[in-house]
Amino acid sequence: RMRRWQVECRPEIDTFTPGLLALYESLKPSEEHKSKQNQLVDSLTKSVSKEWPDAQLHLYGSCANSFGTSHSDVDVCLEMETGTESTAEALLKLADVLRSDNFDNVEAITSARVPIVRMSDPASGFSCDICINNLFAVANTKLLKDYAQIDQRLLQLAFLVKHWAKLRGVNETYRGTLSSYAYVLMCINFLQLREPKILPCLQAMEQTFTMNVDGTECAYFDEVHHLQDFGADNKESIAELLWAFFHYWAFDHDYRRDVISVRMGNTISKQEKNWTTRVGNDRHLMCIEDPFETGHDLGRVVDRQTLRILREEFERAAGVLQYNDDPCVTLFEPYD
């Protein structure tokens, strides 16, 4: 076990950067993958417009926020007037339309926090989640995409962390671990807290983009081409950052007291959010504030047992990067 006071990484950590960057490159989606994705969107647009001619299709999640790999699903949000129909009714109708247009495995999941239709596309083999009028997802997709354009180390770090989480079995919200979206927010917040900073806090800057979603103003500075040199004073390599990320979540994060907040570019206290006790199913043991839906804790699914599993995995990862002879392989060994 490493100890809290041991905060320096091994001196030769940088020798692992080329291997990690090669892995990162191999995870990026291919051009072929992207064009298949576009074909799916086209055929979906055709299906939907028959029933709802005014509906607008938005991509959200990793196929649009630039954090997607070749294994990511396609997330689509339909923006449309549902009239007197409830969202659930509209989704059931949508499911019928998609079935008659020969999409596979069409299933309406109306009981979820965000109700969706899930289906797969026989042409591409992709699975696809479709929600209706969930414009928070569209707004946070743009926010993540804009952060990704400021410093390339964010994409590199987040791809490696997502890849690690999938292989280690800690990217499964239905089993009490974290979503991909939560991991990306953890990476952004981590880079906002480096010294010198690698990422700014876009929501604390002049508001050049605003979008009103159900009465909540989603606003931030989106002219990120002005921020290309923001992280230039920080010379940390990706190997160093990956180690420091795991080290932070293994040893330094104050799970009892703190909430990580991309919105504030900092950690804030559970006290000020009233997240000190369990409320319904929200346990608030590991707290990750959604940048726009600030009452939403992305860590709400984590319970005592999965928190222990997560912390052991963070510790293992930090230890592998610190001591292992072949960390680029050992770090990503599938957990069985």
Residue 172 sits in the site that holds Mg ion (CB under 5 A): no
Looking up tokens 């607008």 gives 56
- Cβ distance to Mg ion smaller for residue 75 or 297: 75
21-29, 135-143, 192-200, 249-257 -> range binding ligand GTP (CB under 6 A): 135-143
- Cβ distance to ligand GTP smaller for residue 100 or 212: 212
The first and second tokens of residue 103, run together, are: 């999409």
- Please answer whether residues 239 and 231 qualify as being in contact, where contact means their C-beta atoms are separated by less than 8 angstroms: no
- In the bound state, the residue with its beta carbon closest to ligand GTP is 61
- Please answer whether residues 193 and 266 qualify as being in contact, where contact means their C-beta atoms are separated by less than 8 angstroms: yes
For 224, phi and psi rounded to 5 degrees?
-70, -15
Query: CB 7 → ligand GTP: shortest distance, Å?
Result: 31
Tell which one of 16, 41, 59, 61 touches Mg ion (CB under 5 A).
61
The first and second tokens of residue 249, run together, are: 């979540």
Q: Which does 137 bind (CB under 5 to 8 A by kind): Mg ion, ligand GTP, none?
A: ligand GTP
- In the bound state, the residue with its beta carbon closest to Mg ion is 61
- Cβ distance to ligand GTP smaller for residue 120 or 141: 141
Tell which one of 16, 24, 52, 67 touches ligand GTP (CB under 6 A).
67
Strands, E assignment, the chain: 56-60, 74-79, 104-109, 116-120, 127-132, 209-213, 216-220, 258-261, 266-269, 287-289
Question: DSSP assignment, residue 170?
Answer: -
Residue 299 sits in the site that holds Mg ion (CB under 5 A): no
Asked if the peptide bond before residue 196 counts as cis, ω within 30 degrees of 0, the response is yes
The first and second tokens of residue 324, run together, are: 């292992």
The first and second tokens of residue 321, run together, are: 């990067």
Query: CB 268 → ligand GTP: shortest distance, Å?
Result: 19
d(CA 302, CA 286): 7
Tell which one of 2, 43, 45, 73 touches Mg ion (CB under 5 A).
73
**Interface residues for ligand GTP in 276-335 (CB under 6 A)?**
298
Residue 37 sits in the site that holds ligand GTP (CB under 6 A): no
Query: CB 67 → Mg ion: shortest distance, Å?
Result: 9
Residue 60 sits in the site that holds ligand GTP (CB under 6 A): yes
